[in-house]
């Protein structure tokens, strides 16, 4: 769980910014969204292979761009 200690004399806006940054770094929102929807095992497998293909395409494109 993300938490911050509000310093003496620190504004609420800056404390809120620090808290939001910490939540984003710990990927809490992403984890909540991931568990909010139930995916069937086959659907989860299809999504996983699609993500792998997407990563591979991106990696190949980056390597191709570095060659030129």
Q: Tell me, what's the pLDDT at 16?
A: 95
Contacts with 53 (C-beta within 8 Å, 6 or more apart), sequence order = none
Q: Are 33 and 39 in contact (CB under 8 A)?
A: no
pTM of the model: 0.49
More confident: 42 or 2: 42
Q: Tell me, what's the pLDDT at 61?
A: 93
Q: Tell me, what's the pLDDT at 65?
A: 85
pLDDT tens digits, 17-65: 999 999 999 988 888 888 898 999 999 999 999 999 999 999 999 998 8
How deeply is 19 buried, as exposed, middle or buried, from its count of CB atoms within 10 A (0-12, 13-18, 19+)? Answer: middle
Taking the C-alpha atoms of residue 44 and residue 61, their distance in angstroms, rounded to an integer, is 26
Residue boundaries of the structural domains of the chain: 12-67
Answer yes or no: is pLDDT of 67 > 80: no
């Amino acid at each position: 769980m993300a938490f911050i200690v509000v310093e003496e004399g620190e504004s609420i806006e800056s404390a809120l910014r620090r808290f939001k940054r910490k939540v984003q770094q710990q990927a809490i929102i992403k984890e909540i969204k991931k568990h909010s929807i139930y995916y069937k095992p086959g659907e989860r497998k299809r999504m996983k292979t699609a993500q792998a293909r997407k990563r591979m395409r991106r990696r190949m494109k980056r390597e191709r761009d570095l060659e030129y």
